[in-house]
Structure 1
């Protein structure tokens, strides 16, 4: 990917964000300083246009503490980091595109297509059945923009690359007790 392509992807997300009403954006503090919140979006290219189109975007930066999850009764969103919300919105977009295609609107999607009966009946070379009724159009590419590196495992490559020596640590094995460390295969 070239720098100009990366800039076009960022511009697609930032352009859609700029169109949002001010009540959907971080406020300006009393001292005139803009509050800042991470922004993520998913962009598609292809279909009927060669330009980049933002198909989902979200802001967010929090995660419900694990101690609160049992009390939420499934009514509270656990992770509302921007990248997670953008992926959730993207999943909704894809499901709506599939629904439109399933309802017989064969040209309803710029990005997805109905697979032929032959494609659905095929078994892949590794033996997996590939019977999904929909597929991405061949000319569609998907890209994700994040205004900052995602949290957790998704940011580990950045952390490792910034270290002088990024060799993984050796985890000492305690032969007297069972393993409880995730690095040792425990929970």
Structure 2
């Protein structure tokens, strides 16, 4: 069996904890410094990453890691899409995979679980804001049932070029076909 198959077969997806912060920070730093999926230009510090994990978990929202033999291969989380009460049933996702493990199905495993857990938290819609319109991210989101919701042209600038943001959206559970048990606010 090849290394990619072995990693996927032994991989687990679990809830993140603050002790995962260094690995998460390292994965994110690579994408910040080498790609356009994030519009950050300076990687988060360990303290900032610990704070982010803590904040998301304190809200009861999902923050997941994919792990194989003690190594974090990727992570994904859902946060509020906007902070106004009427957006309370809509979340935004974030997903990053360790560079040497991209294309091995880790993102799909994380996204599948993230969709389920975000729905369990009461979210009805998930938004993906894909920096740079990254083709691999668009492909992953399409594979996972997201549909194109819009493109904002040249809203970011990184590595000496203008970048678009692509918006994609997925319905969670009953979506807008039923009213929620509680109203926002």
Fold-level match, TM-score > 0.5? no
Higher fraction of strand? 2
Q: Specify the structure having the higher radius of gyration (Cα).
A: 1
Q: TM-score, normalised by structure 1?
A: 0.24
